[in-house]
Amino acid sequence: MTVRDILMLGNETLRKKSKEIDFERDNVEGHIADLRDTLRFFQKKEGIGRAIAAPQVGCLKRIVYLESEGRTIVMINPRIVSQSPETFDVWDSCFSADVAFFCRTRRHRSIHVQYWNQDREQINETFTDDLSELFQHEIDHLDGVLFTDHTIDHHIIMRSEWEKLTAV
């Protein structure tokens, strides 16, 4: 099990663009294993989190790993091909902020993503609502863009306040 340190906001690596994966030269399985192990560790520690992008562990490669509700998605070299004009507002946080605070952000209601999976198959998939928001967040990481860049109305709250707002 290889759990990597998660880079925190302010680390300049998080602002850099990631390079595309070369299936012949890059250790794709190693990168995926690191992301999986780090995500699972963070989920266990914090009780929150569904996905992680390679730059968050200091790897400037275009890989996103999701594990949530029994579903695993590995996106290699993803790109958003299209997005809906409809948007929605959502509270967002990030492992790179230690999930200490949440920002109100605006995201596209749906996105169509083209990516390769770990079996080198090209996938075209449309995501809506929460998965649309999540993959926009993760793909942003690959381009050096952070969730705080999408904050609307300077609306930022601490995690304890977010938990009160979202309690059922």
Is residue 49 situated within a structural domain?
yes
112 is in an annotated binding site: no
- Model pLDDT for residues 83-101, shown as the tens digit of each residue: 999 999 999 999 999 888 9
CATH code, 24: 3.90.45.10
Of 12, 86, 138, 163, the catalytic one is: 138
94 is in an annotated binding site: yes
- Model pLDDT for residues 94-141, shown as the tens digit of each residue: 999 988 899 999 999 999 999 999 999 999 999 999 999 999 999 999
Question: Which residues form the domain of 72?
Answer: 12-166
Is residue 3 situated within a structural domain?
no
pLDDT score, position 168: 63
pLDDT score, position 145: 98
Is residue 65 situated within a structural domain?
yes
Is residue 4 situated within a structural domain?
no
137 is in an annotated binding site: yes
Is residue 7 situated within a structural domain?
no
Residue 110 forms beta bridges with which residues?
Answer: 128
Give the C-alpha distances (Å, rounded to integers) separating 138 from 8, 9, 36, 74, 145: 15, 15, 14, 12, 9
Residue 69 has pLDDT above 70, yes or no: yes
Is residue 2 situated within a structural domain?
no
pLDDT score, position 1: 63
Question: Domain count of the chain?
Answer: 1
pTM for the full model?
0.93
Residue 155 has pLDDT above 90, yes or no: no
Is residue 100 situated within a structural domain?
yes
Is residue 1 situated within a structural domain?
no
Q: How confident is the model at residue 18 (pLDDT cuts 50, 70, 90)?
A: very high
User: What is the CA angle 68-61-139, rounded to 5?
Assistant: 50
